[in-house]
Amino acid sequence: MRRRTFLKGCSALGAALYVGGFACAQTGDPTHLRVSELRTALDSGKLNSQNLVSQFLGRVKEIDPKLHSVIELNPEASDQARLWDESKGGLLGGIPVLLKDNIATADRMVTSAGSAALSDSRYPFDSGVAEKLRKAGAVLLGKSNMSEWANFRSNNSTSGWSARGGQCRNPYVLDRSPCGSSSGSAVAVAAGLAPLAIGTETVGSIV
């Protein structure tokens, strides 16, 4: 199975060019800004995290039913954004981030590696990366879809498919492979559903 690098440049939103009627990002819409631009807007008070998170959540709900890149939204995301607006601080303070569904978080979200067998699996502790993101002030927006078990499910597994999340789709050409196994993280950033997303390297997601 050939895999391409889709996670380069995850610090910037991909251009919002989609097949199947997806709209291009509009000028003035913060969901198309780079992380550095979001940082400036948040620090200057031109934008607050609650509004930013609300716009990304709305975009996920509008667009992702066709892409299946987000496996679960964090029910605590808006509260995290509100707390940041009240306290400020942190390198990634107020910035929404998606985490691949094999990255544990100590909250109400499931960590399943895309598997139906782990659809109720919740962890009592954060993974190292989730802990560091929280300390940096990031808002954990949700979990991204992935190739189930990071493509260790079968020799003939399909990139971007998981029992829990369904088939993740390439946002530029819906019937082309999104590659993987960090399919949802890459697709979500490319589609402007999150400014940052975390993937993992197992058998070709990143390198």
The residues assigned a catalytic role are 100, 181, 205
Q: Which residues contact 111 (CB under 8 A, 6 or more apart)?
A: 101, 102, 103, 104, 105, 118, 121, 122, 123, 143
Q: CA 67 to CA 191: how far, in whole Å?
A: 9
* CA 11 to each of CA 8, 34, 115, 159: distance values in angstroms, whole numbers, following the listed order: 8, 7, 28, 23
Burial status of residue 166 (CB atoms within 10 A of its CB: 0-12, 13-18, 19 or more): middle
Helix (H, G, I), strand (E, B) or coil at 74: coil
Q: Can you list the alpha helix ranges (DSSP code H) found in 45-176? A: 49-67, 77-87, 128-135
Q: Is the dihedral of CA 65, 21, 180, 205 positive or negative?
A: negative
Q: CA 38 to CA 46: how far, in whole Å?
A: 10
Q: CA 45 to CA 42: how far, in whole Å?
A: 5
Nearest to 73 by CA among 164, 143, 145, 148: 143
What amino acid occupies position 127?
Answer: S
